[in-house]
Amino acid sequence: METAQFETDLSLFKYDNLEQLPPAYRDLDEDERTERIEAALAELGDDVVILGHNYQRREIVEHADFVGDSYQLSKEAANADADYVIFGGVTFMAESADIITDDDQSVILPSMEASCPMAGMAEALQVDAAWAEITAATDDDIIPITYMNSYADLKAFCAEQGGLVCTSSNAHKAFEYAFEQGDKVLFLPDKHLGENTAHRLDMAEEIVEWDPWDPEGKDPEEAAENDIILWDGYCQVHERFRASHIEDLREERPDANVVVHPECRREVVEAADVVGSTSTICQTVADAEPGDTWAIGTEIHLAKHLDRWHPDVEVLPLCGDACMDCNAMRQIDPNYLTWVLEELVEGRERNVIEVAPEEKELAQVALDRMLEI
Ligand code: 13P
Ligand code: SF4
């Protein structure tokens, strides 16, 4: 269900069982909310585990049992014994947790509005139609790889076609695996991560960007002449960064170092000192010497966390006030967290993410292939 109130051009809600926050939870002040969250957690004990992505707000991260990148969170979900996994993240991450956890565990996404726009840029139905075109255009074997930032039905599709899932921390390994299985890779949905990974593997000459619906774009035969075919998806939070931000910073602050996420444009990654997943970004700042300066090219909440977590390091957002927060991640509001926890205390499960059984089995294959590489 999309309502006028929630409709934005940045969000595509994957699930239609959108439960809105009851009015009584809308104006809680932070002290009261913290007290209530802690009371509910004390009551629920080991029945609940809270996983928080690095881009979550401070008020979520502070209550999380584990904070990390997408790959680490999927491993934590796989190891979780709790009956309820509360996921501070976005829909595709919670779906992956549901796929990986046992059937008697429930994965709860406090707000169903937390849908990553990039995941919505490669819907399984679209990819299926494009796949028919690209595979008809070549005799070579194409292996599809989907970034974790995609929905379960696309992960299932990739598994069915011999492909797998990757995250920003293991995309290069997924490419290597794919080239052992076949001749070409179709990489979905993030063209920048795909391009950056091709460069990392010295395969920059093999890349083509392919949008099957662009009348001006390459036809399938032309696209299939290349070994790495990139879907035309991107993250608007990371596209915001430009090489000029790094040039300006280097001029003003020659002592500053730059770390960026591989969802950034190629020119940005090339100009940075370090590139890596959100956990690599965290580790880079954690390993810095006191007095060092690091500019962070990723979602703004993570830059703020790093500034708080490492007071002896100077942490700057790479493009200053122009750095964005992720509209999808922001939907996980601490009031929602209070609500879903108090509902669990009352024995009611709210906003449960349940991947359809027919997709679950196959998507699990694609995730297992990733966990094994
Ligand atoms: P990480 O896997 O690096 O945590 O990134 C997830 C993400 O959504 C980045 O935009
Ligand atoms: Fe999606 Fe970008 Fe948000 Fe990551 S930062 S969840 S890719 S919109």
Structure confidence by residue, pLDDT tens digits, 351-367: 999 999 989 999 999 99
Span from the CA of 298 to the centroid of ligand 1 (angstroms):
9
CA–CA gap between residue 317 and residue 300 (Å, rounded): 7
Its domain, for residue 194, covers: 119-231
Same domain, 259 and 293: yes
State the distance from the centre of ligand 1 to the C-alpha of 256, rounded, in angstroms.
Answer: 24
* Pocket of ligand 1 from Cβ distances under 6 Å: 54, 69-71, 149, 167-168, 235, 261, 263, 277-278
pLDDT tens-digit profile of 16-30?
Answer: 667 889 999 999 999
Taking the C-alpha atoms of residue 364 and residue 366, their distance in angstroms, rounded to an integer, is 5
Q: How close is the Cα of 101 to the center of ligand 1, in Å?
A: 20
Residue 267 lies in a domain: yes
- The single-letter code of the amino acid at 185 is V
Gap between the Cα atoms of 332 and 52, Å rounded:
10
Would residue 4 count as lying in a domain?
Answer: no
pLDDT band, residue 5 (cuts 50/70/90): very low
- 277-290 tens-digit pLDDT: 999 999 999 999 99
- Whether 294 contacts 259, CB under 8 Å: yes
According to the annotation, is 245 in a ligand binding site?
Answer: no
Same domain, 255 and 171: no
- Tell me what pLDDT residue 191 has: 98
Residue 291 has pLDDT above 90, yes or no: yes
Percent of the chain with pLDDT over 90: 92
**Number of Cβ within a 10 Å radius of residue 125:** 10
- Give the chain's domain count: 3
Give, for 251, the enclosing helix (H) or strand (E). helix 243-252
Do the domain assignments include residue 84?
yes
Ligand 2 center–CA 265 separation, angstroms: 14
Domain harbouring 75, CATH code: 3.40.50.10800
Average pLDDT, the chain: 94
Q: Give the orientation angle of helix 70-79 with respect to helix 278-286, to 10 degrees.
A: 100
The number of the ligand nearest the C-alpha atom of 117 reads 2
Q: How far apart are CA 177 and CA 145, in angstroms?
A: 10
Return the pLDDT at 3.
31
Is 361 inside a domain boundary?
no
Task: Verify that 291 and 345 share a domain, yes or no.
Answer: no
Q: In what order do the strands lie in the sheet with 84-88?
A: 66-68, 48-53, 84-88, 106-108
Q: How many percent of the chain have pLDDT more than 70? A: 96
Model pLDDT, residue 16 = 67
Together in a domain, 346 and 313? no
Other C-beta atoms closer than 10 Å to the C-beta of 65 total 15
pTM of the model: 0.93
- Would 365 be classed as within a structural domain? no
Mutate which of 165, 168, 193, 260 for ligand 1? The one with the most ligand atoms within 8 Å of its CB, which is 168
Mutation test residue for ligand 2: of 235, 296, 301, 324, the one with most atoms within 8 Å of CB: 235
206 and 287 assigned to the same domain: no
What's the half-sphere exposure (Cβ side, CA atoms, 13 Å) at 11? 25
Query: Among 292, 318, 344, where does a domain finish?
Result: 318
- Specify whether 277 is located in the same domain as 349: no
- What is the tens place of the pLDDT at every residue in 78-134? 999 999 999 999 999 999 999 999 999 999 999 999 999 999 999 999 999 999 999
Contact (CB, 8 A) for 189 and 230:
no
CA distance 239 to 268: 9
Q: Is 6 inside any structural domain? A: no
Q: Is 235 annotated as a binding residue?
A: yes
Tell whether 138 and 214 lie within a shared domain. Answer: yes
